[in-house]
Amino acid sequence: MCQSCLGMHSYAPVEGPGVGGVSLLPVSMAVLGIETSCDETAAAVVCDGAQVLSSVVSSQIDLHSAFGGVVPEIASRAHQRLLPSVVARALREADGAAGATPDAVAATAGPGLTGALVVGVSAGKALSIAWGVPFVAVNHLEAHLYAAFLENSGIPLPQVVLLVSGGHTMLVLMSGHGRYKLLGQTLDDAAGEAFDKVARLLGLGYPGGPAIDRLAAEGDPDAIAFPRPMLADGLNFSFSGLKTAVAVYLRRNPEAPAADVAASFQRAVTDTLEAKALRALRRCGTRNLTLAGGVAANSELRRRFKALDARTFLPSRAMCTDNAAMVAAAGWWQLQREGPSSLGVGPDPSWGMPGA
């Protein structure tokens, strides 16, 4: 696909436990990534897990915003309608008119919405059969971890990853590629979910994270002392009490400036995330910290984490929220380790972090 890949692959033995110890993979490899787990229809071509040749994201926000959240049935239908043109564009932008095919196809197989996942997994398998290339079923959470590797393939390990998205909030120790230990996670709402729910309380629409981020810039983060849930101990999180505290405050103070509420809420979330991430670094005896997931696009969180006494890695904002480049990258690394997935594999809507 790219100059180094195009039409001239040399094949080299690669250690791979899933394929009898050795597999034959192109030395330089372009992977088509497909992401349809929620409300973004995305495709990307990434060379060797790091060089992004194209990344196309078609957001369905307009289709869902009237409902205040993602409607699964609408999401699957939209993926089905949009995916062919999104894939075609990703291939075109990666390769101009050369018409070369990728060396592998990676699709998100879970966690996510069942019907939405079916569309991406089926398309990925069909393309891999048509092109005669390997198919890789990728875990969406692991893909978020690999977003940072797109911009720095040499991130030192072990590292702690703080994954904060719309569906998940977790701290993970990554001791090697494919080797994860879950350190802590939310006991109720995810951080992104809290942003979305508070945005709805403030009448800011969906998705709420970016709207709160913008509004908070005009507010006073110390105006309201919202709770910092479970701050004092452990590595688990809880955000539903914070959301309730905002709802109660707004009921009692209907005239409160929305910007102050947004800024104070955002400060409470970032204080909590920062304290837990630092605790995880101390416990694991490492200074390497990566942020991942949609909430990692948040301005205050990024500013705070850049200022930490740690070696912090932040993917660009576009790579924090759902995209297919991270899926292609995770797929490439998985192919090196384990070889292709079986074509019999189906979507797994509740797939957790592999091995964690």
Residues in 146-165 that interact with Zn ion by CB under 5 A: 165
Of 35, 28, 153, whose CA–CA distance to 100 is shortest? 28
Nearer to ligand KG4, 69 or 158 (CB): 69
Contact status: 297 vs ligand KG4 (CB under 6 A)? yes
Helix (H) or strand (E) holding 175: strand 169-176
Distance CA 319, CA 314 (A): 9
Distance CA 25, CA 90 (A): 23
Which stretch in 54-62, 119-127, 173-181, 293-301 sits in contact with ligand KG4 by CB under 6 A? 293-301
For residues 33 to 72, the per-residue mask of contacts with ligand KG4, x marking binding by CB under 6 A and - elsewhere, is -----x----------------------------------
Distance CA 282, CA 185 (A): 17
According to DSSP, the β-strands at 169-176 and 179-185 are: antiparallel
Q: What is the nearest approach in angstroms of ligand KG4 to the Cβ of residue 191? A: 7
Q: What is the nearest approach in angstroms of ligand KG4 to the Cβ of residue 189? A: 10
Burial of 352 (0-12, 13-18, 19+ CB in 10 A): middle
Residues in 313-342 that interact with ligand KG4 by CB under 6 A: 321-322
Q: Tokens 């972090």 belong to which residue?
A: 353
Q: How many residues bind ligand KG4 (CB under 6 A)?
A: 19
User: Could you please report the per-residue DSSP string of 52-110?
Assistant: EEEEEEEE-HHHHGGGTS--HHHHHHHHHHHHHHHHHHHHHHHHTT--PPPSEEEEEEE
Q: What is the nearest approach in angstroms of Zn ion to the Cβ of residue 296? A: 10
Residues 6+ apart with CB under 8 A from 312: 289, 290, 291, 305, 306
How many Cα neighbours within 13 Å face the side chain of 355?
11
Contact status: 60 vs Zn ion (CB under 5 A)? no
Contact status: 36 vs Zn ion (CB under 5 A)? no
Q: What is the nearest approach in angstroms of ligand KG4 to the Cβ of residue 192? A: 3
- Per partner kind, with CB cut-offs from 5 to 8 A, the member of Zn ion, ligand KG4, none near residue 124 is none
List the one residue from 39, 40, 260, 322 that touches Zn ion (CB under 5 A): 322
Q: What is the nearest approach in angstroms of ligand KG4 to the Cβ of residue 255? A: 25
For residues 180 to 219, the per-residue mask of contacts with ligand KG4, x marking binding by CB under 6 A and - elsewhere, is ------------x--xx----------xxxx--x------
Partners of 24 in beta bridges? 13
- Chain positions contacting Zn ion, by CB under 5 A: 165, 322
- Chain positions contacting ligand KG4, by CB under 6 A: 38, 165-167, 192, 195-196, 207-210, 213, 293-295, 297-298, 321-322
